[in-house]
Structure 1
Amino acid sequence: MKKIFLILIVLATVTSCNLTPGEPSEEVPELTIEDYYPIIENAKYFYEGKGNEYATYTVFVDYVEGNKIQTRTNNGGTETINVVEIEDGQLRLLFTRGETYFRHNFLNNEYEDGKILLKEPLEVGARWDYDEDATAEITDLSKEVVTPQGNFEAIEVTIDGEYTQIINYYAKDKGLIKTLSFTDDFEVSSTLSSVEENAPLMQTITLYYPDVDGIHLNTIDVPIEFNTNDQPEDVIERIIKDLSVYEIISPNTKINRLEFDENNNSVHIDLSNDFIAEMNAGAGFEAMILQSLTNTLGQYYGVENIYLTIEDGHYESGHIIIEEGEALIVNFDNINEQ
């Protein structure tokens, strides 16, 4: 069974004040969730694991909007999306989605209350319900933790479930530096080993394009990169246009919208009028261009149905009409073997 370890980058700040006789005492500020949660865009966090092959993982921040953050965890077995939110003195995990190898902003979806990861007041003995089967408690505010990056004093949060105990350690200016997981049979640890700044998310997209024989489709694997908050329509449009020799979309065509529909497991792409006006292809080659676009998006998003519109209207050229609500279907039958 794959173990998906959620990454939460949280910082601990401990404030003290020195008093001189005769000076009025100053109130010590209370620790808050914000003290423990810096958001570093375009940074990649590397965690070294022991006890399980999936305990080693990396974390990248996909999107940040207001008080919500979307992270991507890659443990070598799967890529997992997590959406967390800071609100009302709580850090909550709102959403988790495994097997997510494509780029999509999940921050604007509607979510339930989620799991509470940290809760104010941040003090030893603070307890809360983690979920219906587990409770969480702050068990230490200055636990010494040894990591490849050095020794840190960390906040210790212990989560006790029916069969598993998880202990998370958060250090000032570092966030989550270590996770321990215990059951009757095993102990697993994940420890922060390094942080790489200005490191975009690197992926690969397979571009499909018509062969000169007018019958088959060819493929080429193209590296793509995303910085935090980059939108997939912008990156994919640029990559396709950079490979202009394949002419899947014309130089003036714009991707107005590119949306993943989780409920229907499909993708909707809306293009500018230039896609039809500048195509300059017969009926057969036009069909191959449409199939190339369909296969490219279908493989990247892992879906079979692609919905294509032009300026929010149905697709209609001199050769092909695609009615509103009609899907283009991914088809790999006529692909040239590389």
Structure 2
Amino acid sequence: MIKHLFFLIPTLFLIACGAEKPEDTETTSKTPSEEAVPPSESSLSLSHFFMPDNSVAHFKGEGNEYASYTLTTLYPFENFVTTYEDNGGTVMQRIYHITDDKISLIAENGEAYEPTTHSLAELQAKQEIEVYLASPLEVGATFNGWKITSVSETLETDSQTFDHVIVIEKTNEDSSITRKYFAKNFGEIKREFIMQEGDEQFIVSSVFESME
């Protein structure tokens, strides 16, 4: 059971394979290019917040043995993105739909050891589970319980430094905090789960390390 603790967002400690939580908001799509650009630029689109097509990204984890993982990203159709997150204990498949002002999670399947394919019609028929990211990408904007707290963070990783990082934060029912960090043309490059335990903080994090 422990192997599932760090897979699901927002709590990172939930392994249900399809928690349903409809929301609202809509972007176009295309595979990412390369350099971080300030979110204020008009060229910024939500379609830039995923890893490149057919890429495999490696994340370094701390605080939990399953916090490290590899992320395979595929673009089966325009405006649809499929990811496979493998933490060494299990594999989570997630499918996203990008529309004009939001990215919607439309499928989430655990134990996805074998890649699966869907027709365009099947993907278009799927209902939104929750909103993954939404515009406007401005400090103070909120969606689905998340709040954008920064659009100009600098994040140093073992492989490179990311500028103009967007940070979103959510306070969970148990008062724990989940944060996600997004960089243009890479997508989610860090996630954190923070829980106060007496005078100390318990922190589980995954940070981008490299990409193939």
8 Å Cα contact 2:104-2:131 kept in structure 1: yes
What's the secondary structure of 2:196's corresponding residue?
coil
TM (norm. structure 1) is 0.48
- Say if 2:7 is the partner of 1:5: yes
Moved over 6 A (4+): none
8 Å Cα contact 1:70-1:106 kept in structure 2: no
- Say if 2:129 is the partner of 1:114: yes
Q: 1:147-195, CA deviations, whole angstroms, 9 ceiling, x for partnerless residues?
A: 1112222111112221232111112333222111112342101000000
- Say if 2:30 is the partner of 1:14: no
- Say if 2:102 is the partner of 1:90: yes
Structure 1 residues 52 and 106, CA gap change in structure 2 (3 angstroms): farther
Higher relative CO (Cα under 8 Å, sequence separation at least 6) belongs to: 2
The gaps in structure 2 that reach 5 residues or longer are 10-30
What's the secondary structure of 2:89's corresponding residue?
coil
State how far apart, in whole Å, the 1-side matches of 2:115 and 2:39 are: 39
State how far apart, in whole Å, the 2-side matches of 1:87 and 1:170 are: 18
Q: Which residue of 2 aligns with 1:71?
A: 83
User: Which letter maps to 1:193?
Assistant: E
Structure 1 residue aligned with 2:147, among 130, 137, 155?
137
The gaps in structure 1 that reach 5 residues or longer are 17-27, 130-134, 197-338
User: Which letter maps to 1:191?
Assistant: V
Structure 1 residues 166 and 106, CA gap change in structure 2 (3 angstroms): farther
- Say if 2:182 is the partner of 1:158: no
8 Å Cα contact 2:51-2:185 kept in structure 1: no
Instruction: Tell me the matched-pair count.
Output: 178
User: Which letter maps to 1:116?
Assistant: V
- Say if 2:151 is the partner of 1:149: no
Q: How far 1:30 moved relative to its partner?
A: 6.8
State how far apart, in whole Å, the 2-side matches of 1:91 and 1:190 are: 21
What's the secondary structure of 1:100's corresponding residue?
coil
State how far apart, in whole Å, the 2-side matches of 1:54 and 1:15 are: 32
Q: Which residue of 1 aligns with 2:28?
A: none
More helix by share: 1
Q: 1:16-54, CA deviations, whole angstroms, 9 ceiling, x for partnerless residues?
A: 7xxxxxxxxxxx6274313x3355222110000000011
User: Which letter maps to 2:5?
Assistant: K
What's the secondary structure of 2:76's corresponding residue?
strand
